[in-house]
Structures are given as structure tokens and as C-alpha cells.
Structure 1
Amino acid sequence: MEDFLLRQFDISFIDVSAYVGLAAAGVMTVNLFVGLLLSIQYNPTANWPHRRIPLFDLHKWSGYGALFLSLLHPVWLPLSKVAHFTLLAVFYPLVTTEQPILVSLGAVAAYTLIFVVVTAYLRHRFEYAFWKKLHYASYVVIVSFLVHGVFTEPSLKPSAVIDYFDSGKLFIEGCAVICIGLIAWRITVGAKLRARNASQATSLPAWHGQLVVDRILDAGPDVKVFRLINPAGGVLPFHFLPGQYLSIRLTDGERVFTRSYSIASAPEQCEFCDIAVKRIEGGRGSAHLHESIEPGHVLNCTGPTGTFTFTGTEADSLVMIAGGIGITPLLGIVRHLAAVNWPHDVYLLFAVSTPADILFEQEISAIAQRYRRFRYRILPSKVNDFAWEGPSGRIQPQHLAELVPHLARRRVHLCGPESMMAATIAILRELGVPDSQVHTESFGGEGVIIDDSMVDATVTFSASGKRCIAPAGMTLLDAAEACGVPIESLCRVGTCGTCKIKVTAGEVKMQRDDALTTGDMRRHIVLACQARAITADVQIER
């Protein structure tokens, strides 16, 4: 065979091995580039909304390709009549007399690449943080293989002089320069980009403007979906991440107030966004939207914002647990993952009160049929008087264990009422899921929370001179809105920090203070959406 190649093409098996090695170096360089993009949580959908760039697939298959070429690279040498390379030397190059150290570096690269690919394939069996540490072995592969490629003499003759300006050498030297530059970029600029991408959802919204209600759909009992479009037509005037929310400033008579609603559509549907609103008894915002807003109405909006996001770059699998209307942001996430055909496992456990309360059932089923990575289970807690087949009751450990294999190693997004989330978090801990892997968003009602320490209070707004009575359990934000005092707010669940105010007299109690710093607390800064009076008189610097 080698004689035929020499006669017809003047190519020996050593040359074939060299060409395969060059191909392996090129594929490894591409793999490193894509892997570093993933490591900084680069989101191609956000930057190229009309193009699908499957970075995970590209990284995975380029890794497989690099492994195949790396293993194929030395196979030709024992077949060569000129290389004097034994079969044992393929597996243990130190026994060869021809550049044993440099050739051994190629074997180190190949063995390490086998380790990297196998551990990547079995990553669900490891803790995610531990697997990431294992994956750093990729750098050993790159360095070993490039040093092997640059400094090994292609003919494998001990006395031969290396021509560093040979076309093959120039190619692999170029790959080495690119890889060194990419690694340096990742250590310096890439670290800052990762921090920026990770905090992108936490920054205050940059867009303020108007959207028009295009249509209103009934999604279930007391739930309506409002489809919002750009008044000027065309695409939306902002970009959003799956799971974020919009804040809408509503006017009811002389009262102006803000309510936030999760976006249920996917970023790929860039000509509209959907919000689902459940009517809450006593809820001013939901009642106003259900009763007063019609198609054609113009809404003043701010956003999008929110940290409860998942684009596909944050982890390599996702478990979603929703309670009732808490399905809204998770539906936006699963729509996005299905739209980009994300090549990893996605699970949804959807808990509802009764089968009649199931929202978006037909669409969830349709997504599961066309997106093979998606598995779901609906869990009604009460099924009396319903023809329901399947599990029922409140969420129990077995429901999660049966639906999701290796749950403890996966990222979890949990959204629903506070009581449901508290019970589910306890179950996740029981099943060994670290708190660091659980991401939450609460959907409480618009009513009041009362305990024995809360009292009816007179709330005075010192800057405006206004004063109002806040019944026990009413938040300072609700009191301000009732009194006509504007306080900027977005999430209303104590996470965004937009509604910070200063209490100058009296005392308040907060259900949560996640968005406050130690400095805020020393200066008596509170979250208006969480603060409730525990003294009869409270004064606010507003």
C-alpha cells in the first residue's frame, strides 16, 4: 500500500500520519475556541436571534473528531517501511529511538484527550463543579499536542533538521499561536466578559417605552395571556433572556402603580412577547389588566430584567419545577431550548391544584413531541371529580426521583408560591441537591402577610408631606401607592432592590432582604415591597 502511494502520489505513511496530525491540530483549535466561548457563557441567540448556532453540538463533535484524528495519527507509523516504529511504540513511545520525548508528548495528549472525552460523556455522573475541574485537562491536551507538533521532526529521523517554515510546520505554528492567544484572552478579557454575561440579567433595565396589546387569550381559570407588540411594527424594541420579566406601569384613576410579569414567550419570537396574568383576589394589578385592558391598549413598560434566566450556557441539563402560574417563566425557557434544539436533557414537573388548573397543556405536550430531550410530568394535588390517570398529590421525593435520573447533579429552576417552594427546597435537600444548584423565583399573591408583630400604622412621607393609614400587614410600597406617592418598583418580591427607601422613624419588618447590603441596613434602608410596620408610626424619607 505504501509503495503504491509513493509511486502514484509520492506520499509515504509518515506523510499520511503528518497530515492526519495537522487535521487533529486544526480541529483541536476550533474545539478550544468554542469551549472558551461556552466558558464565558456566550449566548449566540442573544447576538444572532435569527440564526441558530449550536455551540454545544459544535464543541461536542469537534471533541469527538479531535479524538478520532489523534488516535488515527500514529496508526500509520508501524506500517511504514521507513519509520522503524513498532506497535509497542504507538502505545508507549519512550521505547522508540526516534525523538522519544517529543513523540511521547503526542501520546500524553491522546491519552488525556480520551480522559477528557469520556468524562465529558459521563459528566452527569459527577458533581458539575467537580466535572469542570476534570475538564481543565483539555489544556494539557492542547499544550502537549502542539509542542509535539511544532518540535517533532516529520520524517522521524534523529539527525534531520527541522524546517520551521515548512507549510505543515507553519500551519501547526499558527494553531499554537491562536491557542496561546485564546487562552490568554480567556484569562484576561474573557474573565471580564464572563462576569458581564453572568450579571447581564441583574443590571437595571435599559429600555423604557410603550408596547401595544395585540391580542388577549384565555389560558385557564382566571389566567389571561396578553400578547404585546412594538407600536411601530416589526421586532420588539429590546432583547430579553428566557425567564426574564417586564414591569408595566398601570393607571387606575389617580393611582399609578407598577406590576411585573414574566415573559412566557421565547426570545426567538422577536416580534412579540407574551405575559400571562392570573387574577388574584384583591390584586389591583391583575384585576386592572383583566377588567380594563383590551386589544389596542398602549402599556408603559420597563425592562426586561430578572436573574431567573437560562439560555443553555449555564449548565448541561435543566430540571424545572413549577407551581401554578409559576409555569410562566419556565415556559419561556423551554420554548427557547426547543427552538434552538438544545442537545441536553430538560425536565419539567408541573404542580397544579386540580386538572382544571393546568395551563398551556397542549403546548407543553406539543413541545415534548417535537423536542426529544424534553420530558415532563403534570402533578395535580386534588383529582376528585376528575377523570385523571397518573400520579397526583403534593410534590414528594419519589415524584422527582422517578422523573429525573441523577437529580443531585443537575441545575434546578423552581418557581411558584412561597409555601410550595419552601416544601420543594426541603425535598431537594433530602435528595442531595446542593442549594447552589437551585435557582428560585417566587409568585406570591398581591394580598397582605400578617403576623403578631405587625400593627396598623400611620405612614408619613416626609418629602411630600403626605400621610396614610397602613393596615397591619400592608407593605410600605402598597401604602405609598394608595397615598399617591411614587416609588419605583419592579419585582415586588424583594430580589431586584429597585424599591429601596429610607425609614427615618419607627420600625418595620421584612419578609426578605436579599437585595440589601450591610451598608443599606446600617443606614436604615429597607425594601418598600417587603417592609411592614411593627410600630404605630413610621416615617419615610420620600
Structure 2
Amino acid sequence: MSRRISLRRLSLGCAIALSLSASAGAQEGEDHAAHHGAGMPAGGGMSAPAEPGSSDMAKMMNPMMDRMINGEGENEHGHESRRTGFISQLLAFPALDEAARQRVAAQAGERVSTGLAMINAASADGARATTVSARLDAARRLREGTDLFRSGTAAQGAIGGLQPPREVGLAWLRDQLDIDQAAPGHADHWFGISPSHLLLMLFLGLVSATLIALQIFRLRRIGAIAGGVATAKVPAKPEPKAAPPATRVAPAPAPVADSAGLAPSNAAAPAGASLRKPKSWAGQLRVVQIVRETPSVLTFRLADPTADRLPFDFLPGQFLQVEVEPEAGKTARRSYTIASSPTQRAYVELTVKREEQGVVSRYLHDKVVADDLLKVSGPFGAFTFTGTDAQSIVLIAGGVGITPMMSVLRYLTDTAWKGDIFFFYGARSTEEFVFRDELERLERRFPNLHVVAAMQRAPGTVWMGPEGPITREMILAAVPEIASRRIHMCGPPAMMGAMRGVLAELGVPDAQLHTEAFGPASLPADHEDLEVKPAPPPADKPAPSAEVAPSTVTFSVSGVSAALPADETVLEAAEGAGVEIPYACRAGTCGACVVKLLQGEVTMEVESGLAPADKAQGYVLACQAKGTGTPLVVEA
């Protein structure tokens, strides 16, 4: 039940209760005094002193409530009112004797007549009033007259049997205190709540409980996934068995470094270490944008056609293998370094230079358009840098070998790396200066980035930088204490050979120099995506004997066996048997085709792409491995 009680009305109600109690006590005291004599005060002959802590509010309210309930005091004309105890007698009407009831009836009539007189007089005075105070006084007397008339009329009705007198008195009190009547029909509600409200509360409670349960389930699921990732076990690294140098296999699993996510990239192994995964991703990516960087270089932005992020993660400096079908029934594959930053999860970018004799590059430049699908596998490669292996980095690039350096540079600037970045780039001419605008913008934005570019000025272009190749003097002027810094280098073989000699003169130890020589970046500028021919074997290493008997190779994962002629590599045998082994350069320098040799012995003419730790564990390069006449078992 709703009650709206103002502070004034609440105080008034308390005062009414006190006044009723006081009236009853006073009546009892008068009866007691009459019994014992006029000379003895009520209450046992002792006058009760006023309590010092009595409330001022009670002192103020009691006379007013006596006049309100009992009708005692002077009226507006100064005469003593004879309406003594009207409301209190009306409340106790059933217990009154006949004389008291007659007095109540007389007082009710008097209230009616007095109220009508006050209403008429106040109405006339209000009509003649010319001031605000006079009108307010008329309104007050009009309200008092109305109250008298209403109470008297209601009392007459109660005395006449139309309504119980006690209910009339209580109704008058509620009206004066502004207390609402109890809403009918709610007595059977539980705790004053209607059934509709109860159903609504139950429904909201069920919805809340369901949402809480879903949130708890989600948190547990996230915890389980995080726990599974944190506790993922890496294959153990047992002690290798004794084996002949370079060719004997030690049957032990290789350590696997995770290159699928960016979190492990902060703990990436140094360049040259194995970053293989047991299963690399392969599938189709959609060409969402093609950007022309120079007259002969295009950038292809690739994205997952079914999701808003890539289906794989990669490290800055890794590469992808692209497979195309330039002719019906014939496929060609080539590897291209990722130029975009791993922080861009929605897409990956490959920057490709068109070569007249390059089958894949010509197909990408001439045939591929936006919205086409490309078959891609990877990522591969260990030529990576994430900023955790050194406090500064020197990046030296030539031609399209700038692509892995741009991936590293973009990653370091995206993550606000604090170390010094020295970026050297050499190109034939300003017309072939790839990413020129971006490099100039990044250098202006990041004070820790220092760019040095050297090339010939093409006709019709502006170039204020040094002309010609990168020189020893340029490096000395730009990089202080270069012998103590980590260096990454990628470019055409001629450029890389010259720079090796310069860095050796500057005292750079081999442990500080990391190079990449695979796919387009490892080739001469005129033939950047042609197949690289294997280098001749060293003088102290005899060529494989032409009289080696043919053998067989078994691919343990695929469950396929194939013949292995003496002049055929494991990669060639796998291609003939339909076994998928990723590859890139086919020259033994990129390391993309590394596989585990489980049984037998092989010879390899070139093995620069094989990390020493992997070689000790029995891994070989499929593009270089040839049999020695004994059956081979390869994990592929």
C-alpha cells in the first residue's frame, strides 16, 4: 500500500496522538480530582513539574491539536467555542451515553450552520477584498468553513446510521493527514506484490542467471584455451647419436620453434636457426589490392576470403611460396618475402618485380587482378628480427631485397621500438627506388631511424642523395661503432659480396652479420625470379660418383615409395611421386625444403641453407640430397 505523507502531516499525526492521550489523561485526572476533592491535584495530590527535556514541537502542537480535535479555544470573534471534544467523542461514539450522544448531534448541527455562515462571510469578504493579505485571510476562513461543514454533515450522516461514526472520524483524520486509503483487492497479494509483478521478477531473475552462467562458461573456456597454449609441450631434444660428418642421420626429433603467433616472435631464435613447424599453412588468399610501387614493381595485398584476419601469423622477415598455373596442367612456384608488418593481422603484402624470364613474376604482373585467388603456403624462413636480439639494428638492402627489411622496419616502428635503426638501400636509379615516400615519412616521424639511400638519378627525377653504390665511407659516417651492432643484409649476390668485404674491413664479426639469399632477393637484378643454379662443389669435396647405384626413397608421412636414381634429388623424387615438400630456391640456400632423414645416407653439394643444429639432428635439404645407393626413409 502506497502512502504519501509529508513531514508536516507526519508531525501533525504524532501531535494528534499525543493530544488524544493528553485529553484522556486530563479527563481521568478531572474525575480523580472530583472524587478526592478540589483541593488535591490530580495524580496523587502532587503537581507534576514540567520536564526540562520536553519537546518545543510538542509544546507548540498540543494546543493547536486540542483546538483541531476537541474544538476548544476561541473562535474568530473571540468567543469560547462550545464544540468540546467533537472528533474524540465521535471516535468513541458507540461507548457514549445518551446525553453525550445528544451533545455530539448538537455539535454536528452547530458545525454545519457555523461552516455555512463562515463560507458565506468569507465568500463576501473575498469578493470585496482589494489586497493580497485580505484575499488570503478570506481563503483561510473559506477553507475552515468548508471543513466545518463537511465534518458536521458527515457526523450527522454517521449519527443517522448512514456510516459508522468511528469510520467518519478516522476518515476525517486521514483527510487532514493526507493518508491514502488502502487499495482494494490487494489484501491477498504476497508481501504486497501482485502476481504480474511477481512473474516479471521471476523472468528477470532467470535472464540474469542465464547471463551469469554464460559469462562463467566463457571465462572457463578462455582459461582452458590459455592453459592449453601455456602448457603445450615442445618435443624433447635427446642426445644425438654419433654419426659420420654431414651425411649420417641421428634418429632424434628436431626442436621446433613456434612461428605461428606473434607472441613467440619476441623470443625468436637468431637468424639462421630453424623456425619450422610440423605443418605449415597452405590455402588460397584473395588479392584485395594491387599497388604499383615503380614501373617494374607491384605490391599485392592478400587477405583471407572467408575471415577478417589472416589464417596464419608470421615473423618480420619471413616469406611465402606462391603457386600459379601459367599453362593448363602446369604449375610454377616461387617464394616472395612478406613486405608488410606482422602487426597487420588482416592482410599480408608481397612486393614482386617483373622479370621477362620469370614465369611466376610475369604471371602475377600480367594476369592477376583484384579479387583473384592465389594459392599460397608458408610462412617460411628464419631471416627474422623482432627487436629482442639486439639493442640496435643495421639493415642493408639492394634492389627488391628491400622487402624483408621493410617488414622488419614496419614492425619495429609499429611497436615503437626504442633502439637505433640504420637503414641502407641501394638501387639502380631513383626510378626504381621502392617505398621511397614511406621511408622518407618514417624517417621524419621516428628520430631513431636513419636512412641512407644511394643510386643514380633517373632523368626527370629529383635526387639529393649520394649517387652510386653504398660505400665504406657512407657506412662509417652513418653508423658509429658498427663492429658492435647486429647487421641484416639482403640483395643481389654481387652487392652482397661487395658489402661482405666492406664489413670485414670495418671489423664486423661473422656472428653479427646475418644474410638472406633465397628466391628473388638472392638473384641478379636481371633474373630475380629465375631458378638459381647450384654452385659447384668445393674443391676438397669430390663430386658424387656417376656409378652410384639407383636406390629407393620412402616418404614415411605420405606412405609412398619411389625410385631414386643416382642423379636425382629427394625433392625431384617427391615431385614425381606426388609428395608435397615446400621449396623455394632449389639451390640449397633458402632452407625451405629441409626434411628429416630417418634412415640412410645422402650427399649434398650445397648446404648453406641448413642450420648446423638441424644438420646435427639429421635434417637434410631435399633439393640437394642425393642417395648413395642405400634405401632412404624421409619424414615427408
2:621 to 521, 527, 530: 527
Residue 297 of structure 2 aligns with which residue? Answer: 223
Residue 315 of structure 1 aligns with which residue? Answer: 390
1:202 to 266, 271, 275: 275
Residue 46 of structure 2 aligns with which residue? Answer: none
Residue 514 of structure 1 aligns with which residue? Answer: 610
The answer on 1:328 being equivalent to 2:403 is: yes
Identity of matched residues, %: 31
Distance in 2 (alpha carbons) for counterparts of 1:469 and 1:254 = 28
Note the C-alpha offset of 1:320: 0.5
Relative to structure 1, is the Cα distance of residues 513 and 405 closer, same or farther in structure 2, using a 3 angstrom cutoff? Answer: closer
Relative to structure 1, is the Cα distance of residues 448 and 239 closer, same or farther in structure 2, using a 3 angstrom cutoff? Answer: closer
- Which stretch of the first structure deviates more once superposed, 371-380 or 460-469? 460-469
Note the C-alpha offset of 1:381: 5.7
Relative to structure 1, is the Cα distance of residues 296 and 410 closer, same or farther in structure 2, using a 3 angstrom cutoff? Answer: same
- Which stretch of the first structure deviates more once superposed, 382-391 or 228-237? 382-391
The answer on 1:303 being equivalent to 2:381 is: no
**Aligned letter for 1:198?**
A
Tell me if the contact between 2:431 and 2:458 (Cα under 8 Å) persists in the aligned partners.
no
Relative to structure 1, is the Cα distance of residues 450 and 300 closer, same or farther in structure 2, using a 3 angstrom cutoff? Answer: closer
The answer on 1:440 being equivalent to 2:515 is: yes
The answer on 1:404 being equivalent to 2:483 is: no
Distance in 2 (alpha carbons) for counterparts of 1:494 and 1:320 = 20
**Aligned letter for 1:202?**
L
Tell me if the contact between 1:348 and 1:376 (Cα under 8 Å) persists in the aligned partners.
yes
2:357 to 282, 295, 307: 282
Relative to structure 1, is the Cα distance of residues 372 and 387 closer, same or farther in structure 2, using a 3 angstrom cutoff? Answer: closer
Distance in 2 (alpha carbons) for counterparts of 1:326 and 1:405 = 24
The answer on 1:273 being equivalent to 2:348 is: yes
| TM-score normalised to structure 1 length | 0.53
Distance in 2 (alpha carbons) for counterparts of 1:263 and 1:194 = 15
Distance in 1 (alpha carbons) for counterparts of 2:503 and 2:389 = 20
1:53-83 CA distance string (max 9 Å, x none): xxxxxxxxxxxxxxxxxxxxxxxxxxxxxxx
Distance in 1 (alpha carbons) for counterparts of 2:625 and 2:294 = 33
The answer on 1:498 being equivalent to 2:571 is: no
Tell me if the contact between 1:348 and 1:375 (Cα under 8 Å) persists in the aligned partners.
yes
Distance in 1 (alpha carbons) for counterparts of 2:576 and 2:320 = 24
Distance in 1 (alpha carbons) for counterparts of 2:408 and 2:322 = 21
Relative to structure 1, is the Cα distance of residues 461 and 232 closer, same or farther in structure 2, using a 3 angstrom cutoff? Answer: farther
Residue 222 of structure 2 aligns with which residue? Answer: none
- What SS does the aligned partner of 1:286 have? helix
Distance in 2 (alpha carbons) for counterparts of 1:427 and 1:398 = 10
Residue 251 of structure 1 aligns with which residue? Answer: 325
Tell me if the contact between 2:593 and 2:622 (Cα under 8 Å) persists in the aligned partners.
no
Distance in 1 (alpha carbons) for counterparts of 2:322 and 2:415 = 29
- What SS does the aligned partner of 2:605 have? strand
Q: Which has the higher contact order (CA 8 A, sep 6+)?
A: 1
The structure having more radius of gyration, on CA atoms, is 2
Note the C-alpha offset of 1:316: 1.0
1:141-200 CA distance string (max 9 Å, x none): xxxxxxxxxxxxxxxxxxxxxxxxxxxxxxxxxxxxxxxxxxxxxxxxxxxx99964379
Residue 285 of structure 2 aligns with which residue? Answer: 211
1:448-496 CA distance string (max 9 Å, x none): 43778899x99989567789999xxxx9589679968555124435342
Tell me if the contact between 2:591 and 2:621 (Cα under 8 Å) persists in the aligned partners.
no
The answer on 1:369 being equivalent to 2:444 is: yes
- What SS does the aligned partner of 1:289 have? helix
CA RMSD of aligned residues (A): 4.2
Tell me if the contact between 1:306 and 1:496 (Cα under 8 Å) persists in the aligned partners.
yes
Tell me if the contact between 2:607 and 2:621 (Cα under 8 Å) persists in the aligned partners.
no
Q: Give the gaps of 5 or more residues in structure 1.
A: 1-46, 48-192
Distance in 1 (alpha carbons) for counterparts of 2:605 and 2:536 = 11
Residue 63 of structure 2 aligns with which residue? Answer: none
Relative to structure 1, is the Cα distance of residues 201 and 331 closer, same or farther in structure 2, using a 3 angstrom cutoff? Answer: farther
Relative to structure 1, is the Cα distance of residues 530 and 367 closer, same or farther in structure 2, using a 3 angstrom cutoff? Answer: farther
1:434-456 CA distance string (max 9 Å, x none): 2111111122232343778899x
Note the C-alpha offset of 1:265: 0.9
Corresponding residue pairs, total: 341
Note the C-alpha offset of 1:531: 6.8
Distance in 2 (alpha carbons) for counterparts of 1:380 and 1:401 = 18
- Which stretch of the first structure deviates more once superposed, 459-468 or 353-362? 459-468
Q: Give the gaps of 5 or more residues in structure 2.
A: 1-225, 227-263, 524-529, 538-542, 554-560
Tell me if the contact between 1:257 and 1:481 (Cα under 8 Å) persists in the aligned partners.
no
Distance in 2 (alpha carbons) for counterparts of 1:332 and 1:452 = 33
1:373-402 CA distance string (max 9 Å, x none): 111011116868975433122222111111
